[in-house]
Amino acid sequence: MFINSSISYLAASGENRVDLFTASGGYDYYKKNFSAGVSATGYVFNDKSYTVKSALTANLSAYADFDFDILELYADGTIYLSSQSDFIFSAAISHNFYTANDNLKISPTFSLYSGTQNYYSNYNNNQRFGQHMINTGNSNTMGTGMMTGDIFNIQNYEFSVPVRYDLKHFRFQFLPVYAMPVNPATITDNQNTYKEDLKNNFFWSLGVIYKFYKQKK
C-alpha cells in the first residue's frame, strides 16, 4: 500500500506559479514473476494552467505485469474523470538485461497507447481556445470542438530503452523514448476544420531516487 503527493512548479519567465498538485494512493501485489496493482490519483490544477490534462479531476487505474524471462508483458487500464470520462489502455513488451551483479538493468521496450480523448476535447473547448480568449478580452467567441474525442483508437507507439542502476541507497534512472503519434484529432471551429499536425518525437528523462531503509544485521 502506498500514499504519495507531488507539486509541479513553473519557473519560466512570466509564469512563476504552482501549476499542479496531485495526491495518490494505491496497492501493489507481487508474487514471483507476477505483479499487479490498483491506484487512484486526484489533480488540482492552477486556473491559469494550459496543460492538456488540466481538464481532468482524477483517475482510477489498474495494471498487471508478468515476466516470462524471455519476454516481459505489461498492460494497464485507466479511467480519467472529468466532465466526460475517458478510458485509456496501454500495453508493452520488453526484455530485461542484467549486468554489474544485477545492479544495472536495461530494458528495450515497445509500447502502444490507445483510448478516448474527451479530456483533450474539453481542453480545446474551455482552456486552449475559450478560457484563454476570455482572459485576453477577445470578443470573438469561437465555437470549438474536437470531433473524434469519444472514439476509442490507438494514439501512440513508442520505442524506449529504460536504464536503471542501483548503488547502495541510490537508484539512478535514464529513459530515452522515441514516440510515434497516430490518428490525429479533428478539430473544428466556426470557420475551419483541421487535423492535428502530428510528428514523431524523441525525448529523454533522468531521475535519482534515494531509499530510506535499515540494513539487516
**Residue 191's pLDDT is what?**
73
pLDDT tens, residue by residue, 141-157: 334 555 556 788 898 99
Residue type, 156: N
Residue 44 lies in a domain: yes
Instruction: Please count the structural domains in the chain.
Output: 1
Question: Which carries the bigger pLDDT value, residue 4 or residue 163?
Answer: 163
Q: How far apart are alpha carbons 165 and 177 in whole angstroms? A: 18
Which pLDDT belongs to residue 142? 39
For residue 180, is it within any domain?
A: yes
Inside any domain, residue 215: no
Mean pLDDT over the full length of the chain: 83
Q: How far apart are CA 163 and CA 78, in angstroms?
A: 25
pLDDT in tens, 20-71: 888 999 999 999 899 999 999 999 988 877 776 777 889 999 999 999 989 9
Is residue 16 in a domain?
yes
Q: How far apart are CA 160 and CA 178, in angstroms?
A: 6
Q: What is the rounded average pLDDT of the residues 101-111?
A: 95
The rounded distance, in Å, linking the Cα atoms of 125 and 186 is 13
CB 145 within 8 A of CB 192: no
Read off the pLDDT band of 125 (50, 70, 90): low
pTM for this model (two decimals) = 0.71
Q: What is the mean pLDDT of residues 120-145?
A: 47
Residue 39 covered by a domain:
yes
DSSP strands (E only) in the chain: 2-10, 17-31, 34-45, 58-67, 72-81, 86-94, 97-99, 104-106, 109-115, 145-146, 153-160, 163-167, 170-181, 186-188, 193-195, 201-210
Among 206, 215, 205, smallest CA distance to 168 is for 215
Which pLDDT score, from 0 to 100, does residue 104 have? 96
Q: Are 211 and 217 in contact (CB under 8 A)?
A: no
Query: How confident is residue 126, by pLDDT bands cut at 50, 70 and 90?
Result: low
> Does 216 fall in a domain?
no
The CATH number of the domain where 201 resides is what?
2.40.160
User: In the prediction, which pLDDT does 134 show?
Assistant: 34
- Residue 217 included in any domain: no
Residues 6+ away with beta carbon under 8 Å from 102: none
106 to 97, 163, 166, 176, 195: CA distances (angstroms): 5, 5, 12, 11, 37
Range of the domain at 56: 2-210
Q: Is the pLDDT of residue 214 over 80?
A: no
What pLDDT shows up at residue 26?
A: 95
> Is 67 part of a structural domain of the chain?
yes
